[in-house]
Amino acid sequence: MQERTQKIRETARELLVQGKVDCVLGYTQGSIPMRARPFFATTPDEVDQLCWTGFCTGNLAKLLIGRTDRVAIVAQGCVSRNIVGLIQEGQVVRDHVVVIGVPCLGMLEYRKIEARLPGKDVHEVLEVGDNVTVSGPGFEEVIPRNFIKRDNCTTCMHRNPVISDVLVAEAVDETAGGDLEKVAAPWESFDAAKRWEAFNATFSTCIRCYSCRDACPLCYCHVCFVDESQPQWCGKTQDAADVDTFHILRAFHCAGRCTDCGACESACPMGIKMRRMTSKIEKDVRKLYGYEPGMDVNAKPPMTVFQPNDPEDFVK
């Protein structure tokens, strides 16, 4: 991790000194342990605040949207795929972006660490190789990295950036080793009633904060469907019907576009496992269209194109 941090800083410094970009968008150490936060370095001095740790969760591609300046962005596999997606959708201009690619070893889930150490106040986390040492007043615990990785990182299919202008480390194994097809849709084997029950139970704690939507680089509509009033597609109350509608519609809006970056689950203050929706949809997209989002800027995402002879047998 330290090597990546150093290389990111070197690259950022060079880009800013040479005036190739107006700012470098990366991460800096968070104000509390087990967090890193998005950081915009605008001067060569500021690059020393950039870092790369196992807590660089979220998706920086989100913060590219709407910017009119020239930005260098630190991007691992999933984030680079979202940048491709944003280029496909006309939200980002390739020439205005310098991608500092980071082959990724997977991000950590602070909630998994907290669950292993109930009641303990974590003061420091050291990532060394395959292990993570978590310490605080009166305790120190060494945990294998694989035990505390974020769910989506364990089944990552593309850990190396798919586009980049600079790479800050040697390429890593492309996949994380988990079996995505096996875990992508845990409710597939359920009958409809059980599936509905599981879905409702999963989202029963949703507080409609919209962190999932706001963290997601796919969600950039000027007026989100939940804010439309004429007609009002979705109510604003905590009624299960309204909560369900929000999540079903949002998931379908992400169809054929979602890179399983996990920013939604990382952002959710209630720890809702909402990837159950999108990872099932993406599994279907892979099966029906043989398509993986964000791999190729010239590809046409299946939900955005049609042919007159597309199958219609489902239209009754």
Partner 1 sequence: MTDKVLSKKQMGSFVEKILEQKDVFAPIMQDKSLVWGAVTSADDMIWDFTNTDLSPKDAFFPQSECLMHCTGCNDHDGETPQGSIFQAEPLLARERVLFNVRPCDARAFWLLDQIFCQDELTHDVYWADKRAKTTLVGLACNDPCSTCFCTSMQCGPHHEEGLDILLVDVGDAFLVRVLTIKGESLAASLPEADQDSVQRAVGCKEHAEKTMAPGPCTDHLASSDVLSLFNAPFWEKVAASCLNCGTCTFCCPTCHCFDIQDEIQGEVSRRVRNWDSCMSWLFTQHASGHNPHNTKMDRVRQRFMHKFSYTPTRRKGAFGCVGCGRCVRLCPVNIDVREVVRLMDDFAANMPIPS
Task: Report whether the peptide linkage leading into residue 231 is cis, meaning its omega lies within 30 degrees of zero.
Answer: yes
Residues 43-82, interacting with partner 1 (CB under 8 A): 58, 62-63
CB of 121 to partner 1, least distance (A): 6
- Decide whether 137 or 308 has the Cβ nearer to partner 1: 137
User: From the list 35, 70, 145, 280, which residue makes contact with partner 1 (rule: CB under 8 A)?
Assistant: 35
**237 near partner 1, rule: CB under 8 A:** yes
Cβ proximity to partner 1: between 37 and 94 the closer is: 37
What's phi and psi for 40, nearest 5 deg? -105, 110
| CA atoms 302, 304, 309, 314: torsion sign | positive
The footprint of partner 1 on this chain (CB under 8 A) covers a number of residues equal to 37
Q: How far is the CB of 122 from partner 1 (least distance, A)?
A: 9
**Taking the complex as a whole, how short is the minimal distance between the CB of residue 225 and partner 1, in angstroms?**
12
Closest CA to 295 of 124, 78, 94, 147: 78
30 is an interface residue for partner 1 by CB under 8 A:
yes
Write down the residue that tokens 């669950």 correspond to: 115
Please, what is the minimum distance in Å from the beta carbon of residue 233 to partner 1? Answer: 13
Q: How far is the CB of 212 from partner 1 (least distance, A)?
A: 8
Contacts to partner 1 from residues 172-191, by CB under 8 A: none
291 binds partner 1 (CB under 8 A): no
In the block, which residue shows the tokens 């962005």? 73
197 binds partner 1 per the rule CB under 8 A = no
- The only residue of 4, 39, 74, 86 in contact with partner 1, by rule CB under 8 A: 39
Cβ nearer to partner 1, comparing 180 with 267: 267
Class of residue 135 by CB neighbours under 10 A (exposed 0-12, middle 13-18, buried 19+): middle
How many Å apart are CA 145 and CA 132, to the nearest integer? 6
Distance, in Å, from the CA atom of 236 to the CA atom of 254, rounded to the nearest integer, reads 21
Does position 200 interact with partner 1 (CB under 8 A)? The reply is: no
Q: Which amino acid is at 76?
A: Q
- Give the one residue of 97, 267, 277, 285 binding partner 1; rule: CB under 8 A: 267
- Residue 259 beta carbon to partner 1: minimum distance, rounded to whole angstroms: 18
- With a CB cutoff of 8 Å and minimum separation 6, the contacts of 273 are 151, 202, 265
Q: Read out DSSP for 156-202?
A: -S--S-SS-SEESS----SS-SS-HHHHS-TTTTS-HHHHHHHHHHH
For partner 1, the binding residues (CB under 8 A) are 30-32, 35-40, 58, 62-63, 115, 119, 121, 123, 205, 207-211, 213-215, 227, 235-239, 263, 266-267, 269-271
